[in-house]
Structure 1
Amino acid sequence: MTKVLFDYDSMFYDSTSSLGDIELCDSSDTSLVGSGLEDGEKVVIVGVCAMSKKSQSKPMKEILTRLQEFEYIKVTVFPEDIILQKPVEEWPVCDCLISFHSKGFPLDKAIQYAQLHNPYVINNLHMQYDIQDRRKVYSILESEGIEIPRYAVLDRDSPDPKHHELVESEDHVEVNGVVFNKPFVEKPVSAEDHNIYIYYPTSAGGGSQRLFRKIGSRSSVYSPESRVRKTGSYIYEDFMPTDGTDVKVYTVGPDYAHAEARKSPALDGKVERDREGKEIRYPVILNNAEKLISRKVCLAFKQAVCGFDLLRANGKSFVCDVNGFSFVKNSNKYYDDCAKILGNMILRELAPTLHIPWSVPFQLDDPPIVPTTFGKMMELRCVVGVIRHGDRTPKQKMKVEVRHPKFFEIFEKYDGYKQGHVKLKKPKQLQEILDTARSLLAEIQQHEADPEIEEKQGKLEQLKGVLEMYGHFSGINRKVQMKYQPKGRPRGSSSDDDRPAEPSLVLILKWGGELTPAGRIQAEELGRIFRCMYPGGQGRHLAGEYSGAQGLGLLRLHSTFRHDLKIYASDEGRVQMTAAAFAKGLLALEGELTPILVQMVKSANTNGLLDNDCDSSKFQNMCKARLHELMQLDRDFTPEDREKINPCNSSSITDALDFVKNPVKCCKHVHSLIKSLMDIVQIKKDDNKTKDAVLYHGETWELMGRRWGKIEKDFYTKNKIFDISKIPDIYDCIKYDLQHNQHTLQFEQAEELYTYAKYLADIVIPQEYGLTSQEKLTIGQGICTPLLKKVRADLQRNIEENEESVNRLNPRYSHGVSSPGRHVRTRLYFTSESHVHSLITVLRHGGLMDIIKDEQWRRAMEYVSMVSELNYMSQVVIMLYEDPTKDPFSDERFHVELHFSPGVNCCVQKNLPPGPGFRPHSRNESSSTKTSSSNTSATPTPPDDRKSQYSLRIDEESESTLDDERAISKASTETLEGKASELFLPLSSGKHRYHVKSSDPIPIGNSHTVCGNEAAHLAKRLNEELARQEKNRSSRSCMTNRASSPEPEPRSKSYDHKSPKKDKESNSSTEKRHRHSIAGQMNYFKMLGFGWGGPISFKKMTLGSTNSLFSTAVISGSSSAPNLRDMIPSATSVSGK
């Protein structure tokens, strides 16, 4: 069945195929009119009347193929010879007409045809005459209040001389009394004439840029001619400075707009093309004013499918051209959306008149109503996410104290004395540091240097070497900090006190910490699955609805007026690139990350949003000193030691203390393992067979040896003391090498080193943010207070309804819906580990809920206590819902959900703590008679005879089978229900079997949300039930494993669809399910390979690593299951196994 599914998809994406089932109609055959399927059901005939160059184009084929997937729509393309040679009476008859003008098209005949048969016309035909005249286009735009450049018309065709008065001077022209200074634009009044000239002032060299329709790789040429044309009629307008980009907007109906930016043809005339020869276009997010403009253009010109050009200049958006019927090229998402919207538009209009049993599905202009974990259907209003960056290379750092005047000059040049420190990231700044280092090293070689400088020779050489890496500077991967010390560095001993204290600078060089290819994949995949939290994101498989890939609801929501998205990132390169990759996955964007980063990711540091408080650093240093003292004990931990190290009694730290036992002994073992690893590196480096091997991300054996050599040297100091502050670096490095380099390194003790370093890090890393609850809260507040204030403002803004002054439009007004306008606000903050740690700390220790009285909160905190690490892509997500039926001042009006995921899994030790389930007591009591063993939540609780164990195994996918098979992941988690919190865990991946204890079975009653093994079992029974109700559905019920697509564009074929031709005798009424139908939701999760209600996992081969898989839990909560007991009465007896 998998093979059939892939054949089915190939029809969708083969750009070289013919129109398939779409017919070129015989003009003499009128039998299709009002005809239908073999059983007598009627279908809507959609006629496409256009020149063959347009009707046979790839975008048209893609959209018509998808449109044909609607059960009640049949597409007929009018042959060009019939259009040109036959009278309209002999043209095929249709119910709906898609017709548009292009060169050579007889628009007048199309109008006659429409008047003769009165079909439903998608794009008004009379208005297409107006679109061909730029004068009328500008006049219509003006009448609609749409911003256009200041212009004047020189109409040499007019008999009135006042309409063609032209006075030309060297640097300006005067048209009918209106003065245009150069640069200005000269456009022919005919929209079919693309010879547009831009005239430059003499101060810029004069001449003109002559634009034309693309010819090969050229779209314009420069000409030294500075005089305007003397024949023909033209529009003269101000030249708008747009920073070299134009925005192309494509509407499909008044409520949908897709936008792309391209390099302006006026820039240099060279068309930028990708490796496939296509013009490079960048993704664009339209702001609310621009979405309003797109709606106005669509309605004003009466063109449902319409393209127009936007110029963004001086903080405003101007429409400079309206093209009429046009499609986006090479965007599967757009093809899906366009076909879906057109199909629903056609059926909404024609189904009632043809008596077709079709009901309007969920539309873009419906309220974003989704089921919450609390069990109620509420309106999603706000999503706030705080997310850690993805997988990175190890961060490396070097410190050196400098006193040379050249360093002080740089420090003063960049205002270091004002703040006491300075950060240097720009290429020019780094070049100055490099020049200084080279100069001082030259002095040392010439024996002219100060003795203190000679002492620093090794550090200066390392500084020079790092800054010379890669051959060019980038703030993404290197930076230098200098901190001022008025009295120099603290003295190492009392004998130093006699020396005079001189001011000095501590120069800190940081490099590494770059986002890896694996990190980019993680972020992009998480963005893709993050869509599932939004309305329509659960992949309902209705015929004609292309939601076969999860999360397309967000993509459509975002293309309308309903989504307000902003993405912030701190200034670290890895964080910014993570945000860009996440945005790429979230919005199904294409291309490189750099333009996405520039267009969509805002810096969070401009307003101090992700800055650290200086006071918190002081408290943190005090806590680190106490922790390091406690970790220097050369004995087993006593109960008193444990109480001092772990006063909050965190489960994960308790487990780590049990493993470590004697910290000094454990550190000695780690140190010996590091030495063994360094020996292996040296052997590999010297071996002729392996010395040229390239490690992950371009690292060499030499660089790896230096990296571990520095760690080994710094970890065990000259004073025979272990520097506990290096444990996070050790863990960081061994995790990186085990994940990415183990296949080359072949270090047999790598997992052992990882295990010991992991447990030590489980103690050190969280406790560096405070030991006691009060210390944790103080440090956490200092780090993330600005972020907390911003999150609170994001939520409060929705509650108070005091929106910012932007043009918002509720599309439902035009459909006669009286409910008030709403939109979904999304704010995503990408940051480093410290902010996620601090946010979790504040939520955990800030007294948000009473842990004693609130059972749900207690379970949530127990889970957080079990999480030992906030790994890459850790997330805290807050979702705000509103019940518009409740009183505005009622506590029941708003509902807040708190979601958390500890991020990706490493390649070993994936048995992470399972997420807790929770059912309120009221539900338990009300359903006490229905006690069963259906609960499969894995909440750790004391042992009990009634508890059973089960094993969870997920097999790794080899590279050769990644595209052909998908393991069924059975999640053993229960959806957390209630007021304040919901926690999900990552599913583990890898060839490891482990056991998790199940919690006591708790009766749930009618509000049970199934998941995991229970859901998988119910899915099987549910489909057996459906098979008895629907004919010819058995083949599709087998599609439980669909290969996950690694492509940026999601597979968008309607999964649960049946073709009108292939399944004519099926009961069509069962196909058009409600958007929350059981079958629709169940089939989606079957397709993904797991039951619904639990965490969503994904697996992806990381580039350059050996079968290292990662699996990330993604927040759900918007996919609550319907009550299956009404359909399968015996469902209560199902038990997880």
Structure 2
Amino acid sequence: MVLKYGGVLTHAGRKQAEELGRVFRNSMYPGEGTGLLRLHSTYRHDLKIYSSDEGRVQMSAAAFAKGLLDLEGPLTPILVSLVSKDSSMLDGLDTASIEMEEAKARLYDIIVSEKQVIPLNSETPWMADGAGLPLDALHLLPRLVELIKKVTAQVKVLCKAEEDRLADTTLDEALPPYDQATALGKTNMDVDRIAAGLPCGSEGFLLMFARWKKLERDIYNERKGRFDITKIPDVYDSSKYDLVHNTHLKLDGLGELYTVAKALADGVIPNEYGINPVHKLKIGSKIARKLLGKILIDLRNTREEAINIAELKNAQDSAPAHKLTKLTDDDTKSAKSRIKLDGSRRSSSNSEKSLDAEEDDDKETRYRLDPKYANVRTPERHVRTRLYFTSESHIHSLINVLRYCNLDESLQGEGLVSNGALHKVFETKELDYLTHIVLRMYENTGVALDDSRRFRIELLFSCGAAVNPLDASPRQQDHTLPVFPPVSLQEDSSYLTFHKLESMIQPFAMPAEDFPPATTPQGFAGLFPKSGGVLERLANLWPFNKHLNQKV
């Protein structure tokens, strides 16, 4: 499961993440009683959570994990114990910066030229360059600037009034300093601040004014007479945030600003990651290359583990009863190692890196439920869960590769996403907070192990909390917007095998042998590599060493 974070975690964002974790647990892992929690408490649930280096991303991941595992307490201990950081896989756009700049330049030319975007085929409107742009985009931009100035002026008045009020307040009547860290950790709406006419959350009027003033300054260059369309997403995010959390300030024109910004953002944001499907595929394969490779590794490991367990179970079932009683733990371990080695030969090369990866897998599965002492009916049942919290750019890149991978010249045949799902994704302009893509693997134990239909893949997609705050009801209750449930990207009658998914994604994914090995720093040697040589060179450069080398 790959999820999008949504900036600094507010009280509403925390509730949304925890609730989505609970919904994900009950819908993705249906079962009797506690379901996934029972598997997790009996060492039958292999869970790993990854996020980028940013603290706000990690906090969103911790909130989701709290709801997923039904944990209690603050988020910080959950973050430290469950969330792993991988910035190279889940952050950064350097690999596709040139292509994205080309897309933005081409997009600006389309807007300025007022050229109407006409698709070559009405059944596939997403194939046209700049698909999704509003027809009156050039006329909406001046109105956008006017509304930004109008809102900024009102926030400036509120900021000045707050300064005057604090200046007239005596020391005895002065309010205590506002603790931003405490505000970020709250789970409920700050009713006292709202009742006092202050901005909700951790933001004051001065910071709010600085936010809008920067947008006013950046969106339009009066000297050059040029609009900066790359700031449209920031304007949209800022207007939606204030419309959700600061409606009590009653800023005139904020609703219209949100409507105009949304119309522009719905066309600009998707096209920033490629002006057409072929361009989107090129950019997406560069940004999400490592993430795609990691997803394939996760699916392969899950498949190999299922095959190993099935082969071992078949071997035990076919063996005579008197031989089963003499089977020792060492024999079981050796059988597992032989089966695992055979599985690795089937799926990958015989390089040393693959053998090292198998050893790492053994270390990961060290804490598994022993069937001999298990007080459960299905001790062999085991599930894997991998969660990746990343930015909107990686979500766009991943979904673009999934729906347009068949456009590559090296691939032929039908794509991974159905035609109906292509229409749904194209019509879904906004990928909001907690947008997620789910890849589920099922095992059909009724077919042979070497049958490609043994493992089936299900693709699910949700646009997150992409709800219009003007239409949400009730809006003033707790500032929480609902998250859309995931929908399937395939036809009901389709059967996507893991073999097909692997063959379609493999050309765009990082190979397994290119992943750096996991290393654990040991003492100062890990923190300061080659420190001994550096210190020796520094000592030789020290002034008093020169006199020691001279002849007396």
TM-score, normalised to structure 1's length?
0.33
Q: Aligned letter for 2:276?
A: T
Give per-residue Cα distances to partners, 1:450-470, cap 9 Å, x unaligned. xxxxxxxxxxxxxxxxxxxxx
Q: Counterpart amino acid of 1:649?
A: P
Distance in 2 between residues matched to 1:653 and 1:775, nearest whole Å: 10
- Tell me if structure 1 keeps the 8 A contact 2:435–2:465: yes
Measured after TM superposition, the shift of residue 711 of structure 1 is: 1.0
Distance 2:476 2:252 in 1: 22
Match of 1:672 among 138, 141, 146: 146
Please name the residue that 1:796 is paired with.
300
- CA-CA distance at 1:955 after TM superposition: 5.4
Aligned to 1:560: 42
CA distance, structure 2, for counterparts of residue 584 and residue 688 of structure 1? 38
Deviations 1:84-139 (A, max 9, x none): xxxxxxxxxxxxxxxxxxxxxxxxxxxxxxxxxxxxxxxxxxxxxxxxxxxxxxxx
* Match status 1:632 vs 2:103: no
* Preserved contact between residue 524 and residue 585 of structure 1 (Cα < 8 Å): yes
Of residues 592, 598, 605, the one that matches 2:74 is 592
**Distance change >3 Å, CA 696–CA 891, structure 1 → 2:** same
Q: Separation in 2 of the partners of 1:970 and 1:518?
A: 16
1:876–1:898 contact (8 Å) kept in structure 2: yes
Question: Does the 8 Å CA contact 1:656/1:760 hold for their aligned counterparts?
Answer: no
Inter-partner Cα distance in structure 2 for 1:970 and 1:603: 27
Is 2:130–2:275's contact at 8 Å kept on the other side of the alignment? no
3-state SS in 1 of match to 2:112: coil
CA distance in 2, matches of 1:688, 1:820: 63
Structure-2 residue corresponding to 1:649: 125
1:569 matched to 2:51? yes
Deviations 1:428-475 (A, max 9, x none): xxxxxxxxxxxxxxxxxxxxxxxxxxxxxxxxxxxxxxxxxxxxxxxx
Q: Using the TM superposition, give the Cα deviation of residue 957 of structure 1 relative to its aligned residue in structure 2, in angstroms.
A: 8.3
TM-score w.r.t. length of structure 2: 0.65
1:519 aligns to 2:13 (yes or no)? yes
Q: Post-superposition shift, 1:556? A: 1.3
Which protein has the bigger helix share? 2
Q: 5 Å matches for 1:248-397?
A: 385-390=1-6, 392=7
Aligned to 1:609, what secondary structure does the other structure show? Answer: helix
Alpha-carbon distance in structure 2 between the residues aligned to 1:524 and 1:666:
38
Partner of residue 234 from structure 2, selected from 729, 734, 740? 729
The match for 2:224 is 719
Unaligned runs of 5+ in 1: 1-384, 393-513, 541-546, 911-953, 982-1137
Checking the alignment, whether the CA contact within 8 Å between 1:648 and 1:773 is kept in structure 2 is no
Query: Rg larger in 1 or in 2?
Result: 1
Conserved in 1, the CA contact under 8 Å of 2:57 and 2:390?
yes
Aligned letter for 1:568?
Answer: Y
1:838 is displaced (CA, Å) by: 0.4
**CA spacing shift, 1:595–1:629, aligned 2, 3 Å:** same
Residue of structure 2 aligned with 1:861, choices 422, 429, 439? 422
Residue in 2 that maps onto 1:890: 451
The CA deviation string for residues 473-516 of structure 1, in whole angstroms up to 9 with x for no partner, is xxxxxxxxxxxxxxxxxxxxxxxxxxxxxxxxxxxxxxxxx222
Q: Secondary structure at the match of 1:632?
A: helix
1:625 Cα deviation from its structure 2 partner:
1.5
What do you get for the CA RMSD once the two structures are aligned? 3.7
SS in 2 for 1:561: coil
Match for residue 401 of structure 2 among 842, 845, 868: 842
Whichever residue aligns with residue 60 of structure 2, its letter is T
- Ranked by relative contact order (alpha carbons within 8 Å, sequence separation 6 or more), the top structure is 2
Sort the Cα spacing of 1:762 and 1:694 in 2 relative to 1 into closer, same or farther, 3 A.
Answer: same
> Which position in structure 2 is the counterpart of 1:706?
210
Of residues 599, 606, 609 in structure 1, which corresponds to 2:89?
609
Distance in 1 (CA, whole Å) between partners of 2:270 and 2:115 is 20
* Change in 2 beyond 3 A, CA 1:822/1:842: same
Conserved? CA contact 2:240–2:469, under 8 Å: no
Question: Once the two structures are superposed, what CA deviation does each residue of 1:368-417 show, in whole Å capped at 9, x if it has no partner?
Answer: xxxxxxxxxxxxxxxxx111113x3xxxxxxxxxxxxxxxxxxxxxxxxx
One-letter code aligned to 2:109: E
CA contact (8 A) 1:738 1:907 kept: no
Q: Distance in 1 between matches of 2:63 and 2:156?
A: 36
Deviation at 1:821, TM superposition (A): 2.9
The total of aligned residue pairs comes to 404
Q: Which amino acid aligns with 2:447?
A: K
5+ residue gaps, structure 2, are 167-196, 306-339, 341-357, 497-552
* Distance in 2 (alpha carbons) for counterparts of 1:970 and 1:569: 22
Change in Cα spacing, 1:683 to 1:761, as seen in structure 2 (3 Å) is same
Give the 3-state SS of the residue equivalent to 1:892 in structure 2: helix
Structure number having the greater strand percentage: 1
Percent identity, aligned pairs only?
40
Distance (Å, rounded) in 1 between the aligned partners of 2:21 and 2:484: 22
Aligned to 2:24: 530
- In the TM superposition, what are the counterparts of 1:588-987 in structure 2 within 5 Å? 588-605=70-87, 608-612=88-92, 614-633=94-113, 637-639=114-116, 641-642=117-118, 649-650=125-126, 657=133, 660-687=134-161, 693-717=197-221, 718-744=223-249, 746-801=250-305, 802=340, 804-805=361-362, 806-807=365-366, 809-813=368-372, 821-847=380-406, 857-908=418-469, 956=474, 959=477, 977-979=492-494
Counterpart CA distance in 2 for 1:650 and 1:627 is 15
Contact 1:879–1:897 (8 Å) recurs in 2: yes
Shift of 1:819: 8.6
1:820 Cα deviation after fit = 8.8
Q: State the alpha-carbon separation in 2 of the partners of residues 600 and 971 from structure 1.
A: 25
Letter in 2 for 1:874: T
Equivalent residues of 1:886, 1:893 under 8 A apart: yes
**How many angstroms does 1:703 deviate by?**
2.0
Distance between the aligned counterparts of 1:648 and 1:612, measured in 2? Answer: 31
Q: Tell me the CA shift for residue 761 of structure 1.
A: 0.8
Three-state SS of the structure 1 residue aligned to 2:458 is strand
1-structure distance, mates of 2:370, 2:226: 68
* 2:402 match: secondary structure: helix
* Residue type at the aligned position of 2:115: T
